[in-house]
Amino acid sequence: MKQIDHFIAGKKTAGTSGRFGDIFNPATGEVQARVQFATRAEVRKAVEAAAKAFPEWSSINPQRRARVMFNFKALVEKNIDELAHMLSAEHGKVIADSKGDVQRGIEVIEFACGIPHLLKGEYTEGAGPGIDIYSMRQPLGVVAGITPFNFPAMIPMWMFGVAIACGNTFICKPSEKDPSVPLRLAELFMEAGAPAGVLNVVNGDKEAVDAILEDPNIQAVSFVGSSAVAEYIYSHGTAHGKRVQAMGGAKNHAIIMPDADLDQVTNELIGAGYGSAGERCMAISVAVPVGEKTADALVQKLRPRVESLRVGIPTDPDADYGPLVTAAHREKVKSYIDQGVKEGAELLVDGRDFKLQGYENGFYMGGSLFDRVTANMKTYQDEIFGPVLQIARAKDFSDAIALPTNHQYGNGVAIFTRDGDAAREFASKVKVGMVGINIPIPVPLAYHTFGGWKRSAFGDVNQHGPEGVRFYTRIKTVTQRWPKGGVRENASFVIPTMK
């Protein structure tokens, strides 16, 4: 059986722990490979390789680092078909969605190609008598990223693209469910011209994570995953003196105003709710129609669309979405549907018993649709992370805005309306980090920044864009004076001021 190891100091490195994780083919349910789980010593070996590479890499001028990023971008684009098929085979996404995963990562690499401009500091001439002040941004050193299963191409590139362009060296700990794409990206990064040790990949479980969080040479850690783990990463990492950004779970609402175009809304909800089998932190999982008339009309349009969703193998070009990532995750999603029924929500479409002919052992689920979900239900409070859309009816605009505002998560939210004043008020008042107006998945482009509020994000600095550059650098400010003609002033015991 195929064995997946680590990538340390520029080459594939066999693990020695004797501990493995199974990698499934979600389409068939079969174990297709095993991944080695790293020991603390193996994580340390990766840290040492990154630390060794840091002085040379950080001293290369930003323009030359940008050339490596340009080369890497070209190589990822050249190999996008290979990467997409590799991704789909382990994750279960349909090929088109996997290509989108890779493409969104490429867009952050494109942003990172502009690093010479992004690292420019500030300068003030004549800040005082003969005194100039300037600032510079310098890399932190060795940094790490712990990435989730649902975007095995995009999120690693979100992290290491900006970090490495800034002059840091990087250790990636991908999800043990689908680790092949991050390893392939590391190989392509070496091919692009990066020195050995600049990008390392170690596979593993909590032992590897704790080794990263506790290693004294790792300066910063970025994480994307569930909120419970994000909180642990943040508290444990900061307790060990690290800069940490930890992105957690979500429960993204879509507010549907009475004046919205319901045909457009239905299309948007179908794609945003069920794409990638709902395994997206920015998936729309709650539709909030305002008023009973709006709700009834939405249900009438939405129900047949959910019933007709096409679930297929990842390579089926006509499939809307493929299997879930593992059998355990599928059972977890089913348990939430069971819970919703017990809590009294109205299950309009039930996808629990779906089987794909010829692939009965695959991890498939049909689309499910709930109506009359209320805020006190556990299935509303928790992130389901599957092909399940819930309808929570609101009496008016105030009730609608209160639902996402009062929810424990605050990642993304959307409003559908033709009323600019309502949209403007909503964007201003809703307590959520990313807002879409007639846009169902408001993921900012690479030159802006990604991050939620409340239990969707721990830490003060968001991912990619200018915030990403700030996260992976420290600012240093220099105040300088060159005395004229060797003249020296007498000693002063008063703090300098500009009075």
Name every residue whose Cβ is closer than 8 Å to that of residue 114 and which is 6 or more positions away in sequence.
66
DSSP state letters, 22-57: EEEETTTTEEEEEEEPPPHHHHHHHHHHHHHHHHHH
Cα 252 from chain centroid (whole Å): 15
Is 137 in contact with 162 (CB distance < 8 Å)? no
> Facing residues of 370 across strands?
347, 390
Cα(451)–Cα(463) distance, rounded to whole angstroms? 6
The reply to whether 113 belongs to the active site is no
3-state SS assignment for residue 12: strand
* Tokens (6 digits) for 126: 């004549």
Tally DSSP H helices, then E strands, for the chain. 16, 23
Cα 137 from chain centroid (whole Å): 25
Cα(399)–Cα(403) distance, rounded to whole angstroms? 7
Q: What is the DSSP letter of 211?
A: H
Catalytic residue among 113, 166, 172, 281: 281
Q: What is the DSSP letter of 194?
A: P
- Active site residue ranges: 281
